[in-house]
Structure 1
Amino acid sequence: MAAPVIPSSFQIYNSYVEDPKWQIKFTTIWCSGLALAVAVSVPSLILGLRHGRSLKGITGISETNGYRTAHSESDSIEPPPTRRRFRRSVGAWNALISPVYWSPPKLGLNLGQIIVLSAYLAAVLVCIIKDAPLISNPNRAGFIALAQFPVVFLFATKNSILSLLLGPGNGYEKLNFMHRMAGRAMFLAGCIHGSLWIRNHLQYGLSVLGPQKETSGVASLALLCIIVLTSLRPVRRLFYEYFFVIHVLTYVAFFVTICYHTIYASPWIFPPLAFYGADVLLRLFRYRIKDASLTAQDAHMTLIRVHNCDDGWLAGQHVRLRVFFSNRVLESHALTILSAPPSISCLSSPGLILAARTDGDWTRALNNYTRKEQERLQINEKCEGDSSAFVQVMLDGPYGGSSVDLGLYESVLLIAGGSGITFTLGLLDDIIGRCVKLGRSQGERTRRIEFTWCIRSFGQIEWFAPMLIDIATAASNSAIDLHISIFVTCLCNPEAVPHIPNSIVTLSRPSVQELLKDFISLPPTSETEDMIETRFDETKKWQCSGGGVAVCASGPESLTREAQNAVARLGMTMSMDVGGIALHTELFTL
């Protein structure tokens, strides 16, 4: 005779049996979404592997003690013909995803990221609420909070397998928005779990503090609150060094207290430890201690030239830099490499060059130290002109980079605001060098480049004028039409503007949307009549060939958001007409 079955309406909810099932369901949901993202990125990954971009720099900066031989007939080589089927596929894909670039003000997120975060939050809430008696037994929220651990660390580590699988240009800085959302979802679930249990204990007269489980639970919730509150953007921007120290100490303490609180935490602790351990191991391969020379351009900009670095990075990537000077040895800061590797670079003095604009305590101290050292060297050595201050530095990287390979597109629009030029200048040096110096050895199709820089004063042009002159000179004798536009928003000293070939300086603030529209329709405006006619015919041919347009913008949030919205507003039809518009933005913020 079979045992009687208790009706479901009278069964007691067993959270330790049912809630772990919802942890598995939630993990299955986000892993499926991640697998879809990786599948979509497979073509980009394959292309990056084929061109040597995907794994570039995985073992750090290298010293080759020699340069590659420049192509002897690079100036006479024309761009290869565009394969129509390939270009149509790329153009259709870029046109399809262009609406997701739209970005509302203040959020710092585009539409695609908002959709991803909304879906993730919806999955968290459904897994917490669905068929769960939260008022009487809020354990489900606690279990879902534990399930956030792998997501938090997967999207936080600098050396993540995920960055490799998603292809070039998808470094930790691009994935960090998911890390923040997972942390806030953990905080939300933890607050639901903790507050409802405290309510139940107060309702039934039970002690909230005292027993180990309750005490460790309250301590875990308190630590989680500290982690989230000190991670808010104003705190990160104003007190980054304090934020970093507090962040590390509190998440270590949180790991300990949560393991004391519940035995069910252990399985969810091991994946984060594995992710973090892999990150630390790979960093050991990327650390370099090098000699470097510092040059203060003025009181607002310091150039850092790292010696004996010939390869191991891509244009647009950045490093974490630690300069051994004064009492600032323990501080490291992210700086973009503003030059291509010497085998590609068009600069007269190639190498690994960084630029630190005076915009905080560390950069101001570095600039002051450099100027004092230069003055001391000039007095002691009685040398004429500027001299460089020599220091030792530690490099960690490279990381990040551009998700768009400019060589795949016939037209390139580079837009920078202020110190954001360090990103676009590196890309410009790279694509000109690949086309001119290496003779389009990887089939680069780039014919036309518009380089736009928005600055506040004419004096800032001097920061990078020698480099722009080198690159413009290299491009002037090739099949590439390079035009440099500098927009100055403050009337200062226009007589101090240096002469850069094929460039124009304008006293205004440009509209990125108008720049993009003019660029893709392109009648040049500042040439002689014959030149206008000739270049218009060439441009018309380029546009009709559907070779695609690559747009890269870097600088403050207002500029990158404007670039995203400009591409999104063009619409699918116009994007398809030019062969698709690819976009990469680099936001200079914490």
Structure 2
Amino acid sequence: MAREYSSATLSPLKMGRWELQPPPLGRVSVVLANFIAVMVFCFYKLNTLDKWSWETVGYRTGFMTVAQLPLILLLAGKRNIIGFLTGSSHERLNWLHRWTARTLWMSATVHMGFWFRSWGRFNYIATKVRTDPLTQRGIAAWSILTFILFATLSPVRRWSYELFFVSHVVTYAGFIAAAWLHAEPEVKMWVWVSIALVVFDRVARWAMMVWSNLAIFSRSSSRSNSPSSSLWANYATFAPLAGNVTRVTIRNPVISWKPGQHVFLFVPALAPFQSHPFTISSLPSDNKIEFLIRAESGATRAILNHAGKWNTTIDSDSTRLVALDGPYGAIRPLRQFDSVVFFAGSMGVTFTMPLLRDIVEGWKGECNGGSVPITKHIHFVWAIRSHSHISWFQKELESLMRDVEDCRATNSKFRPTFEISIYLTSDPHLSATSPSAHGTGLHIQRTPSTASDSSQTTSLSPLVSWEKGLSSKSPVCLRTGRPNIDNIILSTLEVAEGESAVVVCGPSGLSTDVRRNVVSLSDERAVHKGTGAQGIYLHVEEFGF
């Protein structure tokens, strides 16, 4: 029931062409609990209607405003104790950082309002603003905080991440300075604690970056991607792919990571003074780190331009020194679930593909040992615009299908079901009237977004070649249109003998639809309510920050 409530969302608010999707109720509850707690501490046993108490309210709300700073800065850190204790990574706490900061802005506004209200009785506001340095510093701190509030709204962050990041760092420093100058001596310690938390986070990150990027810490004695005499460990090659995507490869990396984790990538030769988070799309067993980076603007566009300019062999001039900060991110091990359903929208596959490969890798080990795997059902759904995007993970898909076939041939007890559904949402090369491709094991269907499982067969001749050599029992099913999320999840739950996991990464619309369907099916099946229906674990990985 707690899972249902925390993942449930209210109906979207529509204003003309705009649609605002409220956050999940779990997040709303946490934000409201924090806001109510702060307001109670601000006004407890104070009479706001008594004009002689207004300055007391001003003092109390000011102290509470400064006291919130450590929590906000703690949530902003990449390595913080809250994430360690809760098993969450920084990106999954970032929303809480933003909303606690908005609560701080509210208490700061109340603090300023009650002082103005008290001074207003004597027409003293203008005089205080003009002559009192303490008041001037307080107004400066509030003004900077207000700017930060609007500059961190989602449209601004999406418009220019680089500009947002620089402005955020600069305005944060200005706000902390103004807050320290404005605060009373007895509460300055909270400002110092906030500064100490930021310094600790930076020092910890720099220390980890040194360990992650120097060759002396490398586990590999031979480094094929870097000069033999180089002190630096990480050098990357760049290869352009379809859809304005670049494959960045770092061989024999120093760091170890788990599937689904991400790092901050810094390429000084192409984008100096910038680092961006990218999901690692490879497994540790590959002995290389790979990123698939779609070009937008700024650093990602510079990376694509470089990849298109040079040859992409390891010894070519396309090789560049890179720095890694991480890894970050955490997800429950998926090998413990009976059934797993993956949903990926376009580049979201960089998160779901390594998780899928990790489960199949576990299958291989269990098959060789003669044991029966815990995970018995996998359905991997990938929605892309064009068939050319399959090339991003063509080799991995082929390898997965061969591994599953080998497991079935090696271990007679191996009976898990494995299905891959790729949906082409807007590919002009598809024809609704051409005959289907036979003998390739590639099932091609046309499935409208509102249709049921029955669908019309179509042609996909440009894709047939990559499937050659695979068994006719290949689990790949190629469709046009959009996935019927409800049917896909329900079909998996109906055959599940234990707890299931649903993992989604993609655009906000896809994540919202998956979340709603999981909550609806959980309620419909009365999971953990005495019916015997097994639980559903939902993990939503979101783009950006």
TM over 0.5: yes
* Aligned position for 2:222: none
* Aligned position for 2:29: 115
- What's the offset of the Cα at 1:329? 1.7
* Aligned position for 2:457: none
* Aligned position for 1:579: 534
SS at match of 2:340: strand
Q: Deviations over 1:65-111 (max 9, x none)?
A: xxxxxxxxxxxxxxxxxxxxxxxxxxxxxx54233211344346211
**Is the CA contact 1:549–1:578 (under 8 Å) kept in the aligned structure 2?**
no
* Aligned position for 1:294: 238
**Is the CA contact 2:377–2:492 (under 8 Å) kept in the aligned structure 1?**
no
* In 2, Cα distance between equivalents of 1:276 and 1:241: 20
* Aligned position for 1:99: 5
Task: Kindly report which structure 2 residues correspond to 1:511-550, keeping only aligned pairs within 5 A, or say none.
Answer: 511-521=484-494, 539=495, 543=496, 546-550=497-501
**Residue 553 in 1 paired to residue 504 in 2?**
yes
Task: Kindly report which structure 2 residues correspond to 1:8-407, keeping only aligned pairs within 5 A, or say none.
Answer: 96-104=2-10, 105=12, 106-107=20-21, 109-134=23-48, 136-137=54-55, 138-167=58-87, 170-206=88-124, 207=127, 208-261=129-182, 262-287=184-209, 288-289=212-213, 290-298=234-242, 300-309=244-253, 312-326=256-270, 328-342=271-285, 350-374=287-311, 389-402=318-331, 404-407=332-335
* In 2, Cα distance between equivalents of 1:436 and 1:108: 42
Aligned-residue sequence identity (percent) comes to: 28
Pick closer, same or farther for the CA change 1:257–1:325 going to 2, 3 Å. same
Matched residue count: 456
SS at match of 1:142: helix
**Residue 421 in 1 paired to residue 349 in 2?**
yes
**Residue 486 in 1 paired to residue 407 in 2?**
no
SS at match of 1:209: helix
> More displaced, 308-317 or 546-555?
308-317
* In 1, Cα distance between equivalents of 2:2 and 2:108: 39
* Aligned position for 2:461: 495
**Is the CA contact 1:317–1:399 (under 8 Å) kept in the aligned structure 2?**
yes
* In 2, Cα distance between equivalents of 1:196 and 1:397: 45
* TM-score, normalised with respect to structure 1: 0.73
Q: Deviations over 1:1-50 (max 9, x none)?
A: xxxxxxxxxxxxxxxxxxxxxxxxxxxxxxxxxxxxxxxxxxxxxxxxxx
SS at match of 1:436: helix
* In 2, Cα distance between equivalents of 1:310 and 1:247: 31
**Is the CA contact 2:366–2:372 (under 8 Å) kept in the aligned structure 1?**
no
* In 2, Cα distance between equivalents of 1:160 and 1:332: 20
- What's the offset of the Cα at 1:232? 1.3
SS at match of 2:248: strand
SS at match of 1:374: coil
The one-letter amino acid paired with 2:377 is R
**Is the CA contact 2:72–2:97 (under 8 Å) kept in the aligned structure 1?**
yes
* In 1, Cα distance between equivalents of 2:324 and 2:406: 36
The one-letter amino acid paired with 2:7 is Y
- What's the offset of the Cα at 1:129? 2.9
Q: Which of 407, 410, 415 pairs up with 2:338?
A: 410
Q: Deviations over 1:547-574 (max 9, x none)?
A: 2111110011111111111111113545
- What's the offset of the Cα at 1:233? 1.3
- What's the offset of the Cα at 1:204? 1.6
* In 1, Cα distance between equivalents of 2:21 and 2:41: 26
**Is the CA contact 1:132–1:140 (under 8 Å) kept in the aligned structure 2?**
no
SS at match of 1:551: strand
- What's the offset of the Cα at 1:239? 2.3
Q: Which of 380, 383, 386 pairs up with 1:454?
A: 383
**Is the CA contact 2:239–2:248 (under 8 Å) kept in the aligned structure 1?**
yes
**Is the CA contact 1:408–1:444 (under 8 Å) kept in the aligned structure 2?**
no
> More displaced, 214-223 or 133-142?
133-142
- What's the offset of the Cα at 1:437? 3.8
Q: Deviations over 1:159-212 (max 9, x none)?
A: 012212112xx1111111211111101111111111332343344233223222
**Is the CA contact 1:259–1:265 (under 8 Å) kept in the aligned structure 2?**
no
SS at match of 2:323: strand
- What's the offset of the Cα at 1:283? 0.8
Q: Deviations over 1:526-581 (max 9, x none)?
A: xxxxxxxxxxxxx5xxx3xx321111100111111111111111135453445211
- What's the offset of the Cα at 1:127? 2.2
Q: Which of 424, 429, 435 pairs up with 2:363?
A: 435
**4+ long deviations beyond 4 Å:** 438-444
* In 1, Cα distance between equivalents of 2:45 and 2:78: 38
* In 2, Cα distance between equivalents of 1:388 and 1:579: 54
The one-letter amino acid paired with 1:454 is A
* In 2, Cα distance between equivalents of 1:364 and 1:309: 24
- What's the offset of the Cα at 1:156? 1.1
* In 2, Cα distance between equivalents of 1:144 and 1:549: 44
SS at match of 2:292: strand
**Is the CA contact 1:311–1:341 (under 8 Å) kept in the aligned structure 2?**
no
- What's the offset of the Cα at 1:496? 2.0
* In 1, Cα distance between equivalents of 2:134 and 2:5: 49
- CA RMSD across the alignment: 2.4
* In 2, Cα distance between equivalents of 1:253 and 1:124: 24
* In 1, Cα distance between equivalents of 2:95 and 2:394: 35
SS at match of 1:586: strand
Pick closer, same or farther for the CA change 1:96–1:140 going to 2, 3 Å. closer
SS at match of 2:375: coil
Gaps of 5+ in 1: 1-94, 382-386, 522-538
**Is the CA contact 1:556–1:589 (under 8 Å) kept in the aligned structure 2?**
no
- What's the offset of the Cα at 1:310? 6.5
SS at match of 1:277: helix
* In 2, Cα distance between equivalents of 1:439 and 1:281: 45
**Is the CA contact 1:407–1:443 (under 8 Å) kept in the aligned structure 2?**
no
- What's the offset of the Cα at 1:488? 0.9
* In 2, Cα distance between equivalents of 1:267 and 1:439: 59
Gaps of 5+ in 2: 13-19, 214-233, 408-413, 430-459
The one-letter amino acid paired with 2:417 is D
